């Protein structure tokens, strides 16, 4: 009886997170507020889901800023997707950190639900075909930065 | 014979009722934890209250500590 009840509970969150090798949903088709960047010519796209209440997200923004400055000219586009309920909380966060990469807001939290992020923050590294190549759950400072650098270098070195 | 049938029906009914009630369970998804991450949700937000609780706990259990948890309400990382 217990297993039946638990089975019903578990069955309610059956959406799967895109894994490496799978296509990422067309995120431009969702209700995103803000300037959605054009990624048609991008060689690497990092889609990062974040919130103002998420402590590791605060740590991640300066690193993303650095990566965008370093690799932007080489075809790397970073898109930070905010999932705050309150846009003012997002704005306060942005006013403090002033990121140099694209930030959009998932107004109805539909995109984040569609990709079912397993933790906050979660970032998907996409190749030029929009295929998920790497997934980062959480953010762990220098270790995560080094992983991003290695992944970006790998994807940039690939032939179109 | 009739008693056994009644018992089986009762068990089946109880199972269905439990399943129906448990169907109200839901998982708070990682992106829905903004309220849980709020400062007011922290058990140790009031230092005086924490100190008093620790004192009572120590007096009753002859031990202290073990209250800390990693991460916080947002379940990040």
Sheet harboring A76-82: ordered strands across?
A: A32-33, A102-106, A76-82, A44-50, A122-126, A132-137
pLDDT above 80: residue B22: no
Q: Do A12 and B31 touch (CB under 8 A)?
A: no
Query: Sign of dihedral through CA atoms A153, A150, B70, B47?
Result: negative
Q: Which residues contact B57 (CB under 8 A, 6 or more apart)?
A: B63, B64
Q: Higher-confidence residue: A5 or A15?
A: A15
pLDDT tens readout for residues B31-42: 999 988 888 888
Average pLDDT, chain A: 91
Length of chain B: 77
Nearest CB neighbour to B31, from listed A6, A12, A109: A109
Residue of B nearest to A55 (CA): B76
The predicted model scores a pTM of 0.80
Q: What is the mean pLDDT of residues B21-50?
A: 85
Q: What is the mean pLDDT of residues A93-112?
A: 96
* pLDDT (0 to 100) of residue B1: 62
Size of interface A-B (CB pairs under 8 A): 74
Q: Do A8 and B23 touch (CB under 8 A)?
A: yes
User: What is the ipTM for the molecules in this complex?
Assistant: 0.80
Q: What is the mean pLDDT of residues A109-130?
A: 95
Q: Do A1 and B15 touch (CB under 8 A)?
A: yes
* pLDDT (0 to 100) of residue B69: 61
């Amino acid at each position: 009886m217990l297993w039946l009840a638990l089975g019903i509970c578990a069955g309610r969150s059956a959406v799967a997170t895109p894994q490496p090798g799978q296509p990422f949903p067309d995120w431009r088709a969702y209700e995103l507020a803000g300037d959605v960047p054009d990624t048609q010519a991008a060689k690497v796209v990092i889609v990062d889901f974040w919130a103002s209440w998420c402590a590791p997200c605060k740590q991640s923004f300066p690193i993303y800023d650095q990566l965008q400055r370093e690799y932007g000219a080489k075809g790397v586009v970073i898109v930070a997707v905010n999932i705050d309920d309150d846009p003012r909380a997002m704005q306060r966060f942005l006013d403090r950190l002033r990121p140099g990469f694209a930030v959009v807001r998932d107004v109805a939290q539909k995109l984040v639900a569609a990709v079912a992020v397993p933790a906050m923050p979660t970032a998907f590294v996409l190749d030029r075909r929009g295929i998920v190549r790497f997934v980062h759950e959480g953010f762990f400072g220098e270790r995560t930065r080094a992983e991003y650098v290695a992944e970006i270098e790998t994807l940039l070195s690939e032939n179109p | 014979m009739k008693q056994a049938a009644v018992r089986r029906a009762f068990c089946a009914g109880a199972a269905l009722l439990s399943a129906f009630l448990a169907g109200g369970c839901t998982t708070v998804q990682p992106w829905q934890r903004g309220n849980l991450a709020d400062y007011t949700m922290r058990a140790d937000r009031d230092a005086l209250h924490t100190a008093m609780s620790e004192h009572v706990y120590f007096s009753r259990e002859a031990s202290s500590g073990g209250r800390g948890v990693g991460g916080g309400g947002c379940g990040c990382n």
